[in-house]
Homo-oligomer: A and B are copies of this chain.
Amino acid sequence: MSKLALAIDVGGTKIYSAVINEKGEILSDVQKRPTPKTFQEIESAFRDIIKSFEDSVDVIAFSTCGAVNNSNDRILGSTGNIAKEYPNMDFKSLSKKPVFVENDANAAAWAEHVIGASKGMPYSIMLTLGTGVGGGIILDNKLYKGKNGAAGEMHFKMRTDKHRKCTCGSYDCFEAYASGTGLRLTAVEISEDPDITTYDVINNIKRPIMKKIFDKWQDDILNGIIGLANIFDPDCVVLSGSMAEFVDVEYLEQEANKEIVTTPFKVVRACAGNYSGMIGAALLALGVK
């Protein structure tokens, strides 16, 4: 009989939860609640969610903001939008069932690897293009975490003249250009309109200035992909997140393959859906490869 996971996705603004099986199928309604402000309230929310389901599942699988250690039980450091004590969370103490924790971008990359766009490909790099940029790296069919679990941060520089501040405190990271926020900042720079939004660009893409802004943003994504392909020689780069629907993956694949010195690779759009973080965490927790 298929084992089940209670998957809990923890973001800066929302917590989602659902029961997921070994095929990555969501078997329950997806519950949604706002992420509370304080550590105590977040912990109470976790206990509350777990209490309702732990008797009917085999494992508890967290997909969370923040880097997660190689033992999959602790957040490594500060995570931006969530209560600053969140790294103190003792996840294992939340349930009598086994508790497994993974970073949300890593979990989503695993979902794509097992049931999604990079299925059957041993080497893939996932870029989650949203408000920021998340990264998940699969090498030789295994999630790559680095020495302490923090790997896959897409903070490599696109220029070196301290032009644009990044959320990480440094300057000019890929995230600062390739994210939705990056598109807005590129739009402000090119249009000289401080109030321009990403929607203005996307919804008016036939206007030459909006096309120019969009192309600059997409070429920044292209340039990041070229570097990653030269470093990793991957089978594919998977693009996910709310901004991924706007990019031309065929263009990115074609242009990147013209410039790399490694071997041909694919650029594909993620297809495991909005709940890929929960699905990936469940599959990892259940040991599904």
Give the interface of A toward B (CB within 8 A). 67, 76, 122-123, 135, 137, 139, 144-160, 168-170, 173, 219-220, 223-224, 226-228, 230-235, 259-263, 265
Contact of A147 among B76, B151, B228, B235 (CB under 8 A): B235
Given contacts A156-B228, A230-B156, contact A262 B170 (CB under 8 A): no
Q: Closest chain B residue to A262 by CB distance?
A: B150
Residue of B whose beta carbon sits closest to that of A174: B227
Whether B160 lies near A160 (C-beta < 8 A) is no
Contacts of A155 in B (CB 8 A): 226-227, 230, 260-261
Closest 9 CB pairs of A and B: A146-B233, A156-B227, A150-B262, A151-B233, A153-B230, A155-B230, A148-B263, A150-B233, A170-B259
Q: Closest approach, in angstroms, between the C-beta of A225 and any C-beta of chain B?
A: 10
Closest to A67 in B: B262
> What B residues does A146 contact at CB under 8 A?
123, 232-234, 262-263
Task: Kindly report which residue of chain B lies nearest to residue A216, judged by CB atoms.
Answer: B160
Cβ-defined partner of A223 (8 Å) among B151, B157, B219: B157
CB contacts (< 8 Å) of A170 on chain B: these are: 226, 259
Residues of B within 8 A of A144 (CB): 139
A226 cross-chain contacts in B, Cβ below 8 A: 155-157, 170
Q: How far is the CA of A147 from the CA of B138 in the complex (A)?
A: 11
Among A149, A153, A265, the most chain B Cβ lie within 10 Å of the Cβ of A153
A193 to chain B, nearest CB (A): 22
Chain B residue contacts of A122, Cβ below 8 A: 147
B168 x A261 contact (CB < 8 A): yes
**Which chain B residue has the least Cβ–Cβ distance from A124?**
B147
Asked if B263 and A76 sit within 8 Å, CB to CB, the answer is yes
A–B Cβ pairs within 8 angstroms, 12 of them: A122-B147, A135-B231, A146-B233, A147-B235, A151-B233, A151-B262, A153-B230, A153-B231, A155-B226, A155-B260, A158-B159, A158-B160
Q: From residue A3, how far is it (CB to closest CB) to chain B in Å?
A: 28
Smallest CB gap from A147: residue in B? B123
The answer on a CB contact under 8 Å between B156 and A156 is: yes
Q: Give the complex CA separation of A139 and B157 in angstroms.
A: 22
Q: For the complex, give the distance between the alpha carbons of A170 and B226 in Å.
A: 10
A21 CB to closest chain B CB (Å) equals 30
Q: Are B147 and A234 in contact (CB under 8 A)?
A: yes
Q: Which B residues lie within 8 Å of A234 (CB)?
A: 146-147
Q: A156-B226, A259-B170 are in contact. Are A147 and B233 (CB under 8 A)?
A: yes
CB < 8 Å neighbour of A233 from B149, B227, B228 = B149
Residue of B nearest to A236 (CB): B147
